[in-house]
Structure 1
């Protein structure tokens, strides 16, 4: 399992930024559709070839699909809005994030039911294939709106893939307003790796085994609620956002200190506030990108988030929850300065 997760992570890290440039060069909608087809192929490989090699190939396909979607989806939705309607993106992003979290509840229930029918792993895999293909078909209906070219007369050829890659990386690294929010999104987004440990926290804090799934689902629901409120909070000032994430971190600190079953309630409080601020920061990042390589810049953010997430996994192995708390606290301290950057 560790080797498979390593394959998944390494492929994603290598493909993340170049795939963003592919989306900027050849079309964001095409990248999103291809991403879901690639994920469908991954689940099909798992169903047809259930060996270590087959699972490795499936993880690689899944990772490539995720990389193609990352950055391309945000750029596709943001640029489809007219300049005077960009305020709607916050509500779209928050609704999408909340729906993704809530979908875990019926998804887990359905997977459990399919497994219980006696068919084993295959029905779950094939239903996943169908879900991805339906999503790909829906994605073909999204409007493809590209930024206006720098040469309105069209006398200059369209920049190639490498030019899109270079422009996106340059904006992410050299444009202070973008770089500041991008780093905040990366660190805070990487902290989301903590979600993988919620069942372990519940077990370590003596939550009865039979109620651990309910505790984890409750945390996902509060995270969805926080993400849904992110659209309304998009206009908040830096101090209000800082107070929100600070209160969330305090809840996590108290939970980790108490380490009792009821502390999972505080973990849920943390996750709701955390997801609200993360959605707002992701929206601010899109607002600050001005160049044509929006998908590439967003993919740079995704790459940095994955790096921080890997660091969180390693830090947990060494020190448990406290290094993760420290990372969230660091973002809290730096957030006012990040949001002050013009």
Structure 2
């Protein structure tokens, strides 16, 4: 199980097109507004399909969905390189969005239930933390490798490498064990089973207080820092960092996030109040580092991002433990929907705030939601 999970996580993020697809759009003649509209199409696709696909993963084979998802991404990447145009790019982003929706929730539910079946559910946080770190390392490797590969073969070779990675990821999914029934309810008719599972999952997400708490933390912890990471180069330039050193700042942040994922297994059993204290300390580190006006402040920002990544993995583990009903993937997809919504909100808010307040102050402002969540978590609450 562990080896398959790590291989799948690596191949899922090892896409050489990531650092150059914006250049492909630009060289095809797309304007900034048109490129932005593609990102909106991508995000909206994920938002619309996140929860419905989660219910699908509770009715059908989760391993099947994990296999199909990368195939859709491979088709989209191939179309981009072979037939570059606005509408082909849009179709590729739709396929990419569907792929994300199919795999989000499916992977977490499959891994947790297989571990639970083997009596090893306590390993979940550690495994998923390491898997997230493997994914971050894969993205960093793809970015580094894309430079020489692009120099040799341009977009066709980079695109072909990305397609091959997706195909291998799809094959890796077939190695996952799965010992659950393919349908949860309504064996004679899949449609009633699907709607029953969807309703059950949404009811648990709304009505189970403990599930709701971890859903909120999962959405906030992972989405805000994940969106802010995109703006690290801008903050570095604002602080006077030479352009040649900006990638080093990005690498520092990624290294800290990777470490946070690796430490998640040890932190999974920490009580809620110490957990809240850690989250509060990380929020203060984020604000302090951003407002310091010094390059050394990035060390604090990196520590904060590592803590937020740790909190994200732990929140997912606690969420899985809190789910009682049969709709595990559906409930997990609600967390994914929350992350997508928060990410869009951060992007929109950052664009408006940074023009008026600068990047340092804007980073600090986004520490506020973490402070609020930490204070709420610090209050005594009943155990499930």
Deviation at 1:196, TM superposition (A): 1.3
Note the C-alpha offset of 1:149.
8.9
- Between the aligned partners of 2:341 and 2:39, the Cα distance in structure 1 is 14
Aligned residues of 1:184 and 1:335 also touching (Cα < 8 A):
no
The yes-or-no answer on 1:190 pairing with 2:232 is: no
* CA 248–58 in structure 1, closer or farther in 2 if over 3 Å, else same: same
1:80 corresponds to = 114
Query: Please, what TM-score do these two structures have when normalized by structure 1?
Result: 0.94
Which residue of structure 1 aligns with residue 268 of structure 2? 234
- Does the Cα contact within 8 Å between 2:114 and 2:177 map onto a contact in 1? yes
Aligned pairs for 1:49-88 (under 5 A) are 49-83=83-117, 84-88=119-123
Q: Does 1:322 find its partner at 2:364?
A: yes
Determine the structure 2 residue equivalent to 1:180. 213
The aligned residue for residue 114 of structure 1 is: 149
Separation of aligned partners in 2, 1:327 and 1:125? 38
Structure 2, unpaired ranges of 5+: 1-34, 354-361
2:14 counterpart residue number: none
What is the root-mean-square deviation in Å for CA atoms of aligned residues? 2.0
For 1:280 and 1:174, the matched residues in 2 are separated by 21
Give 1:269's aligned residue. Answer: 303
What secondary structure is seen at the aligned counterpart in 2 of 1:235?
coil
Kindly report which structure 2 residues correspond to 1:119-134, keeping only aligned pairs within 5 A, or say none. Answer: 119-134=153-168
Instruction: Output the CA distance in 1 between the equivalents of 2:144 and 2:83.
Output: 25
What is the TM-score with the length of structure 2 in the denominator? 0.84
CA distance in 2, matches of 1:51, 1:341: 54
Is 1:251–2:285 an aligned residue pair?
Answer: yes
**Cα distance in 1 between the residues matched to 2:56 and 2:295:** 47
Mark the runs of 5 or more structure 1 residues left unpaired by the alignment: none
CA contact (8 A) 1:180 1:341 kept: no
SS in structure 1 opposite 2:366?
helix
Picking from 171, 184, 193, the partner of 1:160 is 193
Partner secondary structure for residue 321 of structure 1 = helix
TM-superposed CA distance for 1:230, in Å, is: 0.3
Secondary structure of the 1:160 match is helix
**Residue deviations 1:61-120, cap 9 Å, x none?**
001000000000001111112352101111111111111112222111111111122x22
Cα gap change, 1:144 to 1:150, in 2 (>3 Å): closer
**Once the 2 structures are TM-superposed, how far is the Cα of residue 189 of structure 1 from its aligned partner?**
2.1
CA contact 1:76–1:145 (8 Å) conserved in 2: no
